[in-house]
Amino acid sequence: MRTSVIVTALGPDRHGLLAAVATTVAGQNANVDDVSQTVSNGMFTMIMFVSFDETETTMAGLQAALEITGEETGLQIHVQHEDIFKFMHRI
């Protein structure tokens, strides 16, 4: 079954942040479906729509890998199932 999650990353900007997150996602056999990022006043904000097949990776595995990336890059990275955003903002 295909699972769709939303990865958000926030923190001080520097080179290679988007690449670091995308590399970790790819390493977990997950696909980047869409991504947007901005830098404002030196703060990096990224929203990445990611999907994966539950036979190939797990939510917990993706979260653990991105947690390490967060520690290495100084980003606060959150991985949340897309349903929480759908439920909160749409009926």
Partner 1 sequence: MVFITAEEILETVRMIQAENLDVRAVTMGISLGDCAGRDADIVGRRVYEKVSRLACDLVPVAQSIQRKYGIPIVNRRISVTPIAHVLGSDDPTDFVRVAHALDAAAQAVGVDFVGGFSALVQKGFTRTDDALIRAIPEAICETRAVCSSVNVASTRAGINMDAVTRMADVLLDVSRRTADRDSIGCAKIVTFCNVPEDNPFMAGALHGSGEPEVSINVAISGPGVVRNVVANNPGVSFTELADLIKRTAFKITRVGELVGREASRLLGAQMGIIDLSLAPTPAVGDSIAEILECMGLQRAGAPGSTAALALLNDAVKKGGTMATSSTGGLSGAFIPVSEDAALAAAAREGVLSIEKLEAMTAVCSLGLDMIVVPGDISRAALAGTIADVMAIGMVNSKTTGARLIPAAGKQVGDWVELGGLFGAGPVMPVSAARSDEFVARGGRIPAPLQSLRN
Which residues are at the interface with partner 1 (CB under 8 A)? 4, 6, 8, 10, 36, 45, 47, 59-60, 63, 76, 78-91
Closest by CA position to 35, among listed 50, 17, 53: 50
First to last CA, the chain: 24
Q: To the nearest whole angstrom, how small is the minimum distance from the Cβ of residue 33 to partner 1? A: 8
| Lookup: tokens for 17 | 């942040």
Shortest Å distance, C-beta 72 to partner 1: 20
Quick one: 1 or 60, whose CB is closer to partner 1? Answer: 60
Least distance between partner 1 and beta carbon 16 (Å)? 22
Closest to 47 in 3D by CA, of 68, 27, 33: 33
